[in-house]
């Protein structure tokens, strides 16, 4: 069998795989469309789900009680979806939004009614009751028990509860079904004191004024972990554990209403976003093919396979896709293209040295490997830290980013290489099919570094100046949106039914009426729409109401308005900030370890901070709404920035190992940046191609994400080229001087 025939067979096999993946992504398998894009779980912003509103039984709860209840309900809601939202409505209500669900009653039954949870001394406080499920009932009210200091623990003292099994005693054999209780630090101290004086007695677990369990205390429990025994089966143990977790709230709640809601972005927004993604992807393939020729064709086929594999694994891992998840996919596509660009530039450089095409392939992949590995592993570290330490949309971003990184490395290093070899075997042997790198005169990046520093300083100071001015003017340094600061929710029932495009129309109505962006949700099965916007005053509410009455004939008496809290609680924000800080430290350590020089790590992190501050300037000056998309944008920029920087550092490391006596360190830095300049420009341009169509076709909520992201891509390219290398040179000047001396 000759080489050309083998090449054709290889290429046909790859095209068959690509075709199968495309078919699977679009159509799927069977009646349920298994593994298709339509089967991917979507967040509330993309697909809708169940919305439940709880009201506090207690009048006038404190902000601390409401904050604790929201945080703990968020943890509980994450069991159903990591993209769930929990936020405050008015002074006494809490909303729980669970994406991807369509049966509110089933969710309510499973979630339960979050009543108050107490552990009480049993002696004298409970009596036997054959009709009660636990065999006991309270003999006093909760208020009487509180007054008599008979409460051992409350919901605030429980960190977690899990069902499990353990070996029974040696006499009975078999296993016991148990519930493990994990107490907070304060709860552990209180429980140790209570159990020490209650050995041989009962400490009853009371939920929603009912005794749900009455276990005996066999010994003092001092390690903060208690075991409740006596369950008939695992299901009973799991039900008790679930009850305790739900009841671990500082206040009692009652269900007020529940409904199935439509996608917050609306079907029209989703449709236009898909069109934008398709346009961007087609433009990306055209550019890669025209600029890189045969390698560009190979990369395009590999990228199609990448997208198909991405859809497959999002289905396989049951990941929930949201706007932030889309950000992770965009970043990973950018990194997949970047890996190919690095390889192709290396191949062109090897051809310029006079090597054959086959040898250039080998050397190009070999020399590109370290930059691709370090760039992807560094970003993967950040994704794993974010996944482990956060919840909600940030966790969704981390999931899609981690999957994308692994797939991008596979498609670039394995699939692209396989296709290139097949095309070579078919007959594409000439250098003209691949291009030859041109020798470029070194650009004086180090010499001009003060100018770059001044330009960056002006941009960053402009951002801080805007925040100071706006902070003094209206108390808001940034234009915090619904997700951060809350706002106003208007519920309106329209007399006539409208198409899915009404979401976009209502967004425009609010924008025209009060000049604000909004989030629209339709209640499934009803003609009711929930309009959420930043906090508005009485006149602004009247303007929106009048517009709804005038344009759609809404009944003014049926328009209900409420203040709502941000869906990103202070606790969630704190965890996200800590997670990002930990991720940055981990990336710094990895870069330090791989490059064996702390200055590389320090320069990369400083450049990363630079990019974040420059994009923050855009938010501050232009007053773009700061919400969930802000988090997605910043996380994307962090990943993009560090990846772009490492490519240049890898070339500096390589050139340092080949350093001649006549070469100064600054000359090596200039040469390294110049050699990788085409890669930096092309990667930024291809990522830009994926994002720009969102600005053209997207609705306002998508533009709020796409515009800062485009700006961040430019900032990341600028810092990696103009800041990191010269900064590394500046930090290492004394070190190299001492070595040379």
What digits encode the pLDDT tens for the residues 353-393? 999 999 999 999 999 999 889 888 888 888 888 788 776 66
What is the number of other CB atoms lying within 10 angstroms of the CB of residue 659?
A: 12
**Whether the predicted model's global pTM rises above the 0.75 cut:** no
User: What one-character DSSP code corresponds to residue 714?
Assistant: H
Tell me the average pLDDT across 271-283. Answer: 81
d(Cα 435, Cα 421) in Å, to the nearest integer?
16
d(Cα 562, Cα 535) in Å, to the nearest integer?
10
Between residues 249 and 473, the one the model is more confident about = 473
pLDDT of residue 114: 62
pLDDT of residue 176: 79
Which residue's entry shows tokens 């291009």?
A: 435
Which residue's entry shows tokens 């990591």?
A: 82
d(Cα 122, Cα 148) in Å, to the nearest integer?
13
> SS3 of 260, please?
strand
pLDDT of residue 393: 64
Tokens of 382: 């950040």
Residue 603: name the closest of 541, 649, 651, 663 by CA.
649
d(Cα 665, Cα 487) in Å, to the nearest integer?
55
Alpha helices in 556-627 (DSSP H): 570-595, 598-622
252 and 190 in contact (C-beta within 8 Å)?
Answer: no
d(Cα 604, Cα 647) in Å, to the nearest integer?
11
Backbone angles phi, psi at 43, to 5 degrees: -75, 175
> SS3 of 566, please?
coil
10 and 421 in contact (C-beta within 8 Å)?
Answer: yes
d(Cα 729, Cα 665) in Å, to the nearest integer?
7
> SS3 of 320, please?
strand
d(Cα 302, Cα 336) in Å, to the nearest integer?
9
End-to-end CA distance of the chain: 62
Between residues 680 and 633, the one the model is more confident about = 680
pLDDT of residue 561: 86
pLDDT of residue 175: 80
Per-residue pLDDT band at 736 (split at 50, 70, 90)? very low
d(Cα 59, Cα 718) in Å, to the nearest integer?
55
Domains and CATH numbers, the chain: 3-40+265-433 (1.20.1640.10), 49-113 (3.30.70.3400), 117-248 (3.30.1360.200), 449-464+578-740 (1.20.1640.10), 487-564 (3.30.70.100)
Residue 298: name the closest of 205, 387, 420, 179 by CA.
420
Lowest mean pLDDT among 587-601, 611-625, 631-645: 631-645
Q: CA angle 702-703-705, nearest 5°?
A: 70
pLDDT of residue 236: 80
711 and 611 in contact (C-beta within 8 Å)?
Answer: no
pLDDT of residue 264: 64
Alpha helices in 411-530 (DSSP H): 416-426, 449-474, 482-485, 502-514
pLDDT of residue 381: 87
DSSP 142-210: HHHHHHTT-EEEEGGGEEEEEEEEEEPPTTT-SEEEEEEEEE-HHHHHHHHHHHHT-TTSBEEEEETTE
Residue environment code for 318-354, b if the CB has 16+ CB neighbours within 10 A, otherwise e: ebbbbbbbbbbbbbbbbbbbbbbbbbbbbbbbbbeee
Backbone angles phi, psi at 139, to 5 degrees: -100, -5
Per-residue pLDDT band at 690 (split at 50, 70, 90)? confident
Between residues 68 and 267, the one the model is more confident about = 68
Q: Is the pLDDT confidence value at 320 over 50?
A: yes
Rg from Cα positions in the chain:
30
What digits encode the pLDDT tens for the residues 546-573? 999 998 888 888 888 888 776 666 666 7
Please state, rounded to an integer, the average pLDDT across all residues of the chain.
Answer: 83
267 and 520 in contact (C-beta within 8 Å)?
Answer: no
Tell me the average pLDDT across 308-315. Answer: 90
Per-range mean pLDDT, top range of 249-253, 423-427, 516-520, 730-734: 423-427
d(Cα 33, Cα 21) in Å, to the nearest integer?
13
d(Cα 371, Cα 299) in Å, to the nearest integer?
18
d(Cα 160, Cα 356) in Å, to the nearest integer?
64
User: What one-character DSSP code corresponds to residue 481?
Assistant: -
Per-residue pLDDT band at 410 (split at 50, 70, 90)? very high
Per-residue pLDDT band at 177 (split at 50, 70, 90)? confident
d(Cα 547, Cα 561) in Å, to the nearest integer?
15
d(Cα 129, Cα 209) in Å, to the nearest integer?
14
Tell me the average pLDDT across 94-111. Answer: 71
pLDDT of residue 614: 94
């Amino acid at each position: 069998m000759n080489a050309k025939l083998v090449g054709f067979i290889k290429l046909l096999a790859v095209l068959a795989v690509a075709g199968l993946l495309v078919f699977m992504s679009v159509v799927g398998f069977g009646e349920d469309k298994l593994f298709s894009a339509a089967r991917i779980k979507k967040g509330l912003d993309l697909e809708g789900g169940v919305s439940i509103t709880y009201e506090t039984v207690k009048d006038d709860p404190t902000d601390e009680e409401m904050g604790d209840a929201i945080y703990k309900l968020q943890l509980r809601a994450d069991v159903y979806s990591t993209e769930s939202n929990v936020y405050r409505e008015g002074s006494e209500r809490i909303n729980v939004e669970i994406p991807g669900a369509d049966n509110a009653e089933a969710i309510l039954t499973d979630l339960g009614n979050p009543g108050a949870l107490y552990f009480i001394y049993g002696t004298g406080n409970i009596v036997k009751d054959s009709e009660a499920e636990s065999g006991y009932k309270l003999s006093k009210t909760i208020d009487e028990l509180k007054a008599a200091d008979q409460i051992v623990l409350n919901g605030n003292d429980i960190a977690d509860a899990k069902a499990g099994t353990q070996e029974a005693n040696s006499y009975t054999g078999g296993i016991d079904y148990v519930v493990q209780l994990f107490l907070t630090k304060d709860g552990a101290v209180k429980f140790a004191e209570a159990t020490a004086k209650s050995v041989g007695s009962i400490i009853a677990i009371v939920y929603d004024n009912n005794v749900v369990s009455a276990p005996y205390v066999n010994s003092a429990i001092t390690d903060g972990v208690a075991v409740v025994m006596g369950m008939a089966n695992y299901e009973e143990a799991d039900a008790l554990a679930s009850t305790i977790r739900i009841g671990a709230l500082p206040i009692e709640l009652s269900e007020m209403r529940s409904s199935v809601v439509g996608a917050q972005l609306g079907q029209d927004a989703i449709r236009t976003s898909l069109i934008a993604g398709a346009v961007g992807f087609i433009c990306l393939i055209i550019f890669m093919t025209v600029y890189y020729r045969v390698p560009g064709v190979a990369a395009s086929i590999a990228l199609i396979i990448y997208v198909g594999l991405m859809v497959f694994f999002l289905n396989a891992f049951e990941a929930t896709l949201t706007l932030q998840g889309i950000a992770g996919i965009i970043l990973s596509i950018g990194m997949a293209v970047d890996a190919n660009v690095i390889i192709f530039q290396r191949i062109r450089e090897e051809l310029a040295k006079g090597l054959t095409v086959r040898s250039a392939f080998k050397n190009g992949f070999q020399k590109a490997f370290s930059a691709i590995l370090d760039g992807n592993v560094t970003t993967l570290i950040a994704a794993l830290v974010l996944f482990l330490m956060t919840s909600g949309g940030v966790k969704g971003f981390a999931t899609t980013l981690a999957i994308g990184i692994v797939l991008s490395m596979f498609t670039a290093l394995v699939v692209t290489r396989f296709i290139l070899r097949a095309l070579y075997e078919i007959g594409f042997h000439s250098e003209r099919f691949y291009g030859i790198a041109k020798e470029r005169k070194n650009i004086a990046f180090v010499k001009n570094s003060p100018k770059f520093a001044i330009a960056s300083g002006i941009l960053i100071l402009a951002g801080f100046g805007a925040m100071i001015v706006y902070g003094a003017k209206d108390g808001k340094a940034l234009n915090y949106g619904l997700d951060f600061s809350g706002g106003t929710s208007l519920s309106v029932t329209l007399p006539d039914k409208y198409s899915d495009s009404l979401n976009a129309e209502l967004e425009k109505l609010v924008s025209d009426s009060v000049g604000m962006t909004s989030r629209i949700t339709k209640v499934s099965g009803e003609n009711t729409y929930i309009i959420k916007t930043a906090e508005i005053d009485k006149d602004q509410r009247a303007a929106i109401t009048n517009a709804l009455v005038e344009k759609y004939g809404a009944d003014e008496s049926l328009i209900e308005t409420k203040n709502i809290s941000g869906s990103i609680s202070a606790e969630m924000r704190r965890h996200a900030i800590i997670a990002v800080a930990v991720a940055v430290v981990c990336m710094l350590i990895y870069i330090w370890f791989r490059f064996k020089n702390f200055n590389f790590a320090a320069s990369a992190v400083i450049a990363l901070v630079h990019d974040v501050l420059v994009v923050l300037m855009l938010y501050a000056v232009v007053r773009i709404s700061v919400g969930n998309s802000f988090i997605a944008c910043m996380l994307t920029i962090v990943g993009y920035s560090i990846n772009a920087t490492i490519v240049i550092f890898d070339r500096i490391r390589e050139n340092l190992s080949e350093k001649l006596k006549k070469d100064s360190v600054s000359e090596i830095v200039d040469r390294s940046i110049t050699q990788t300049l085409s890669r930096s420009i092309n990667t930024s341009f291809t990522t830009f191609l994926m994002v720009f169509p969102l600005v053209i076709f997207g609705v306002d909520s998508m533009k709020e994400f796409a515009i800062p992201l485009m700006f961040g891509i430019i900032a990341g390219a600028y810092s990696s080229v103009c800041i990191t290398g010269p900064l590394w040179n500046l930090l290492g000047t004394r070190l190299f001087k001492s070595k040379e001396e």
